[in-house]
Chain A
Amino acid sequence: MTSIDVNELIKDYGATRAVDRLTFSVRPGRVTGFLGPNGAGKSTTMRLVLGLDRPTGGTATIGGRVYAALNDPLRRVGVLLDAQAAHGSRTARDHLLTLATSNGLGRARVEEVLEEAGLGRVGGRRVKTFSLGMRQRLGIAAALLGDPEVIMLDEPSNGLDPEGIIWVRELMKRLAREGRTVLVSSHLMNETSSFADHLIVLGQGRLLIDMPMQEFLDSRSRPRVRVRVTKTDSPRFSEALTRKGLRAEHGQDGFWTVEAARAAEIGTLAAAEGIPVLQLIDEQTTLEQAYLDLTVGAAEFESASDTRTTRQEA
């Protein structure tokens, strides 16, 4: 069982604190979505975990050891930081081979991950001829090279076509099912909600949320019902709602949106009034809504109080 453990992690760049006393664990067997606005410290945290940047304070370990102490680290941890990191003049195959060879992995493994990433036929092409989506696939192929227990991907769906996005999503779910530890940063909420089981949300380098996704959605959702009745019943339905003290709006699409109510409640009410219900839906808060709801406070705070230039995320 290998988890990523971040403890009281701090990183300052000059006067700017990019990561602020961050503590969290990324557990195996599930996909952990790593969210936060640009400059929140996601990439910095990943670099600190990999020992690429030196922390100002605190520790980051993988399976209890610092990354630099891992022998043949690519066999333990697979990582995609920046799809542009592959040199444009190198072929995809040679790029992977440089990484594989240093960690004692052979040519056969390079061919396997090229195939897995759907690059089997273009392995001999120079990376500069690749689209962003193909580079992204190459970056993910590099992360898979060592068949690692821990996988960290920074914005893996960047530039991918719809087919590629589905591939990445299924890949991450499979890796988690196999018991691996999967940490995926993203700024695409709907995308993240399609694969993440657990969420870690940063704002200005601080930990805002560390909880299962469903729990996060539930904690942020205000119950709301969308309901449709016939046009002739509409005035009667509106009256019935008002009598119950419920606030409702009639939309262009013919649906009533009832705030602070559940479908069961509205259904019962309509039945009691003898109003046939055509459609009745409990509205689930989307991750995007919940996230924006959470970060809008942080963002306002940021624009009001922090006029210092923050380091651009690389």
Chain B
Amino acid sequence: MTAAAVLRSEWIKIRSLRSVAGSLTAVFLATMAVTVLSFATVGQAEADNADADLVFGAFYALNFGQIAAISFGATAISSEYVNGALRLSLAAVPRRTLFYTVKMSLIGGTALAVGLVTSFSSFLVGQLFMGDYAIGLGEPGALRAAVGSGIYLALMTLLAAGLTVLLRSAVAVLSLLIPFILIVSFVVGDVAGGVADYLPDRAGQLVLHQYPDSSIGPWTGLAVTAAWAGAALLAGWWALRRRDA
């Protein structure tokens, strides 16, 4: 049994389930749709503000793409927890660490690829609508933000995937993470100041700012998100190895 064979098998699992392949596609489609809608309508008006961060603004649509990324990570895993599917998967690939490593690498890898395409596309397409306010990848911080945003999407995907192994349910993970990102992090972030910069989404999004206003730098922020994702992946690995299937 080779890792390559397991990788091919896992890829068939992803592409053969509409909900999973659909979530992955939605990372790109949702981001692009919001990019076009928002930049064509209020893009220039927003940029007209004196304190506008043009780089951060350029990645506005990422907020929607990340919901799809989280759904992708959660559904790709949760399909194994329907009706004992995992038992059959582990009968085929009984080496659990190999199974887990390959599965997560593939989920992370595809999310990174789609994430990078999405972030660059969103940036470039959005700027088409910005007229005099348009910036290029040469703008200070823009390239870093575009690359960082792709990595950010992959990390949020893995955070969701690791948690789903732990909780064995996409519904549980989505109802935990989505309200957290949409509400808790938003509210706490404005109130608590420094501590909020260590929340998984807030920390990672520092990389999107032209001049991050934080005690930690843009890449360090992304590393904090990576630590969250890493913790979730470790917890998932521990759970998969230890539990009866």
Interface of A toward B, CB cutoff 8 Å: 47, 50-54, 67-68, 70-74, 77, 79, 81-82, 84-91, 94-95, 97-99, 101-104, 142, 314
Q: 5 additional contacts, CB 8 Å, given A73-B91, A89-B19?
A: A50-B91, A67-B94, A73-B92, A74-B91, A99-B88
A-B contact pairs, 21 of them (CB 8 A): A47-B245, A50-B87, A50-B90, A50-B94, A51-B94, A52-B91, A53-B244, A73-B92, A81-B87, A85-B88, A87-B17, A87-B79, A87-B82, A87-B83, A98-B13, A99-B9, A102-B93, A103-B1, A103-B92, A104-B1, A104-B5
A52 touches B92 (CB 8 A): no
User: In the complex the two chains form, what is the Cα distance from A89 to B4 in whole Å?
Assistant: 25
Residue ID in chain A nearest B6 by CB atoms? A102
User: In the complex the two chains form, what is the Cα distance from A71 to B93 in whole Å?
Assistant: 9
B17 touches A90 (CB 8 A): yes
Does B183 make an interface contact (CB < 8 A)?
no
Given contacts A53-B245, A81-B88, A97-B12, whether A68 and B94 have CB atoms under 8 Å apart is yes
Residue ID in chain A nearest B245 by CB atoms? A52
A47 touches B16 (CB 8 A): no
Tell me the total A-B contact number using a CB cutoff of 8 A.
97
Shortest CB–CB separation between residue A51 and chain B, in angstroms? 5
User: In the complex the two chains form, what is the Cα distance from A97 to B244 in whole Å?
Assistant: 25
Given contacts A52-B244, A70-B94, whether A81 and B84 have CB atoms under 8 Å apart is yes
Given contacts A53-B244, A73-B94, A94-B12, whether A82 and B5 have CB atoms under 8 Å apart is no
User: In the complex the two chains form, what is the Cα distance from A98 to B88 in whole Å?
Assistant: 10
Chain B residue numbers with a CB within 8 Å of A71 are 1
A84 touches B12 (CB 8 A): no
Shortest CB–CB separation between residue A58 and chain B, in angstroms? 15
Chain A residue numbers with a CB within 8 Å of B2 are 104
Chain B residue numbers with a CB within 8 Å of A70 are 94
Given contacts A81-B91, A87-B79, whether A101 and B9 have CB atoms under 8 Å apart is yes
Chain B residue numbers with a CB within 8 Å of A97 are 9, 12, 16
- Give 3 nearest A-B pairs by CB, closest first: A102-B9, A94-B16, A53-B244
Chain A residue numbers with a CB within 8 Å of B18 are 89
Given contacts A85-B88, A89-B19, A142-B88, whether A101 and B8 have CB atoms under 8 Å apart is yes
B87 touches A99 (CB 8 A): no
Shortest CB–CB separation between residue A59 and chain B, in angstroms? 15
Shortest CB–CB separation between residue A103 and chain B, in angstroms? 6
Q: Which of B1-54 contact A (CB under 8 A)?
A: 1-2, 5-6, 8-10, 12-13, 16-19
A82 touches B83 (CB 8 A): yes
Q: Which of B66-109 contact A (CB under 8 A)?
A: 79, 82-85, 87-95
Chain B residue numbers with a CB within 8 Å of A314 are 84
A98 touches B16 (CB 8 A): yes
User: In the complex the two chains form, what is the Cα distance from A77 to B92 in whole Å?
Assistant: 9
B12 touches A98 (CB 8 A): yes
User: In the complex the two chains form, what is the Cα distance from A47 to B16 in whole Å?
Assistant: 27
B244 touches A68 (CB 8 A): no
Chain A residue numbers with a CB within 8 Å of B10 are 98, 102
Shortest CB–CB separation between residue B168 and chain A, in angstroms? 14
Residue ID in chain A nearest B241 by CB atoms? A54
Residue ID in chain A nearest B12 by CB atoms? A98
B244 touches A72 (CB 8 A): no
* Most-contacted residue by chain A among B8, B79, B88, B89 (CB, 10 A): B88
User: In the complex the two chains form, what is the Cα distance from A79 to B92 in whole Å?
Assistant: 10
Given contacts A52-B245, A68-B94, A98-B16, whether A103 and B5 have CB atoms under 8 Å apart is yes
A52 touches B9 (CB 8 A): no
Of A47, A79, A86, which contacts B244 at CB under 8 A?
A47
